[in-house]
Chains A and B, each alone.
Chain A
Amino acid sequence: MSYVTGLILLLVSSAIVNNVVLSQFLGLCPFLGVSKRVETAAGMGGAVIFVITIASFVTSVIYKFILAPTGFEYMQTIVFILVIAALVQFVEMFLKKSVKSLYESLGVYLPLITTNCAVLGTAINNVTNNYDILESVINGVGIAVGFTIAIVIMAGIREKIEYNDIPETFKGSAIVLLTAGLMAMAFLGFSGVI
């Protein structure tokens, strides 16, 4: 298996087979909180793709060139969470200054992402699996795309649920969790693909 095939398989497996929300349970907060409308869900997905891709690259570079050579691997959790928090702020400032249109569409979601365990999870995941920098970025893109797929599907379903007559008790997050359970069941079907 060549390196490139490996990368493609990695992309598919992190996006669909091991879907970050539906099988890893990372990034549940925005998945439950920001999935009321397809538009906002897609916006959130876009912001997550943007941040996770940059964060995987930056954390992986920091790990490879700073932490590993100096023997500070055990600092990874502290360094990663601070780097991610700083990075999100930085990205926000940068977009606000120079890419106005992108900031207007993604800006609202950026503060939410710092809390997102998917970002830290991806960074730690890259290190645990010993991915090189390119693989880390691909893994990050895959995870973020998987998140976007899940949240957009969820938002689509929730827009329909609005019109359904569900029992009082299950209104709100209960029905959303059950829906997520059914989606997770569907995604289990991909587990034989790779």
Chain B
Amino acid sequence: MNRNIERLYNGLWKENPTFVLMLGMCPTLAVTTSAINGIGMGLSTTVVLVLSNMMISALRNLIPDRVRMPAFIVVVASFVTMVQFLMQGFLPTLYEALGIYIPLIVVNCIILGRAESYASKNPVIPSMFDGIGMGLGFTVGLTFIGVVREILGAGSAFNVAIPALDNYHIALFGLAPGAFIVLGFLVAVMNVIRRKMEEKGKPLPAVQGCLAGDCAGCSLSTACTGKSLTHHVDELPPVNPAEVAKPTANEMEVKQTANAKNSEDVEKSGSDSSYADDDIVGKEDK
């Protein structure tokens, strides 16, 4: 049970996909024009993530290592299609608002990233909790950015107008430039927090994916083609040795159970993945 709660905490706080890992930036920028859209996108991603994590984890011993990426993609794409039709049927307004970004959940780094680094190496229940944690962390991130943009851009929060802001909102924040600017400031704030935490000796996990200036951080690119772009990977911030060397008691336990149950899997997928992001995640997850 401890392990499941640790997974939730990990997704919501310690490795929050939006704030800490900075993954899945396409939807983060595109759909956060309002808080409601943020929640909608976050929850649909969560549903897909939980279901695909469970399915991939259940099939992890059946899927041959060499074709795992195409297999993951098919699983994820199937669930995305289901979610898409359910939304079209039951939440038509949200479906309209999110538009093309629903099918694009397939290429969201978070989903394939979790499949590759966690679900494909761990049993079903922890994978489910991992999906819930990461998904809710993503939802919280999107909702937060959505609220900020809605307050600045439309003077309302969750579609409720704030009377004090009647004459003081800047429509630009609801449009494309606002998304970039809000995210830019968010990254800057996170840079400050990151530095403060490092001074305290408790560094945050490294930024992965696009904002690390590295597309190879996304599992899909390397795993699909079996190639890594070393000149990009070199630029990734190094793993902090202090953090890896001293895992908490809780993490130790996770490590041991995971290794004992399917050390073969872990080793197999660990050895042939050549990109740096896997190493960073892997060290904590294995």
Contact = CB atoms under 8 A, between A and B. Distances in A.
14 contacts: A22-B176, A28-B25, A29-B25, A29-B209, A77-B103, A111-B229, A112-B216, A115-B215, A170-B191, A173-B22, A173-B187, A178-B184, A184-B175, A188-B175
B4 interface: no
Interface string A95-121: 000000000000010111011110011
B81 interface: yes
Contacts of A77: 77, 80-81, 84, 103, 106
A184 B74 CA distance: 34
Contacts of A168: 191
A128 B100 CA distance: 9
Contact of B180 (A76, A128, A184): A184
B165 interface: no
Interface of A: 22-26, 28-30, 32-34, 36, 74-78, 81-82, 85, 88-89, 92, 108, 110-112, 114-117, 120-121, 124-125, 128, 168-178, 180-182, 184-185, 187-188
B176 A114 contact: no
B73 interface: yes
A124 B103 contact: yes
B184 A88 contact: no
B247 interface: no
Contact of A115 (B77, B187, B218): B218
A174 B181 CA distance: 9
Interface string B2-23: 0000000000000000000010
A169 B177 contact: no
Given A33-B213, A185-B172, A188-B175, A172 B181 contact: no
B26 A26 contact: yes
7 closest A-B pairs by CB? A177-B184, A181-B180, A181-B181, A178-B184, A78-B77, A184-B177, A25-B30
A182 B177 contact: yes
Nearest to B219: A115
Interface residues of chain B: helix, strand, loop or mixed (majority): helix
Given A28-B210, A114-B221, A115-B221, 5 more contacts: A77-B81, A82-B77, A173-B213, A181-B177, A188-B177
A121 B100 contact: yes
B30 A24 contact: yes
Given A25-B26, A115-B220, A188-B176, A108 B229 contact: yes
A25 B29 contact: yes
**In the complex, which range does the number of interface residues on chain B fall in?**
35 or more
Contacts of A117: 26, 104, 107
Contacts of A128: 99-100
A32 B225 contact: no
Contacts of B177: 181-182, 184-185, 188
Given A112-B221, A185-B177, A29 B215 contact: yes
B59 interface: no
A111 B183 contact: no
A169 B184 CA distance: 11
A178 B84 contact: no
A41 to B, nearest CB: 13
B103 A29 contact: no
B161 interface: no
B215 A33 contact: yes
A169 B84 CA distance: 39
B211 interface: yes
A145 to B, nearest CB: 18
Interface in B220-270: 220-222, 224-225, 227, 229, 232
Interface in B149-186: 172, 175-181, 183-185
B180 A121 contact: no
Contacts of A82: 70, 73-74, 77
Given A29-B210, A30-B215, A181-B181, A120 B104 contact: yes
A33 B218 CA distance: 12
